[in-house]
Structure 1
Amino acid sequence: MPIGKADVKRHGDDITVFTYGLCVNYCIQAADMLEEEGINVEVVDLRTVYPLDKKTIIERAKTNW
């Protein structure tokens, strides 16, 4: 995975969470808990905030809009 490219860690249809660093694992755990309640959460690991992968952010935000 190239530097500056986000990685979709978990696909979901209800909400998208953008995160990076240590929070990625916490967001995946929270998404797993919410799935038990019927809420499908997509988790996108930005990997870096500079450079920021604006293209993926816009694409994923539009997908779940």
Structure 2
Amino acid sequence: MMENDNFGKKVNDSSEESSEMNALQRPNTPAESLEQSLKEMQQMRQGKMPKQTWKEFLESLEEEEE
């Protein structure tokens, strides 16, 4: 079934396709983005996720591009 999203674009409502798209999509609202960032900060503080400076992050992105 096709439905309109908030911006008037057609969106496929199939559950299989929407679950794949959700995995690749970034947060839709600033609140969702903030919530994700806070979760990542908590994981970093608990040692579950490595801490990086902005410079280290940019270097890692450049390495991935090669």
Q: Do both share a fold (TM > 0.5)? A: no
The structure whose residues are more often strand, as a share, is 1
Larger Rg: 2
Relative CO higher for 1 or 2, CA cutoff 8 Å, sep ≥ 6? Answer: 1
Give the structure with the higher percent helix: 2
TM-score normalised over the length of structure 2: 0.30
